[in-house]
Amino acid sequence: MNVEEEVERLKEEIQRLGKIQPDGSYKVTFGVLFNDDRCANIFEALVGTLRAAKKRKFLTYDGELLLQGVHDNVEIVLKPTPVPAAAVAATAESS
């Protein structure tokens, strides 16, 4: 699995485990992600995948390196997915 695929899988898992926020983002703690059996089976290097997603600006969290135990309560926020311009235009036209 390449990095792009892993980041997409991570986004799906954050949506599964996290709580949706009023702005459309999802919030989950590192401990919840790290201790989830399904995530453990999917991600060989969860911290590396989190860093790759943060670098690509899909999500945010405080700090650079997250460690189990020490950072279990750090909130990871998956940013809301922007609505494609074509979908916005189609919605505007149908109104």
Q: Which domains does the chain have, with CATH numbers?
A: 3-94 (1.10.10.1540)
pLDDT of amino acid 91: 57
Of 77, 72, 63, 56, the C-alpha closest to 14 is: 77
**pLDDT for 81:** 79
The chain-wide mean pLDDT, for the chain, equals 89
pLDDT single digits (tens) 34-72: 999 999 999 989 999 999 999 999 999 999 889 999 999
- Taking the chain, what is the end-to-end CA distance rounded to the nearest angstrom? 42
Number of residues that this document lists for the chain: 95
pTM above 0.75, yes or no: yes
SS (H, E, C) 29-64: EHHHHHHCHHHHHHCCCHHHHHHHHHHCCCEECCCC
Whether the predicted pLDDT of 13 surpasses 90: yes
Can you give the pLDDT at residue 27?
97
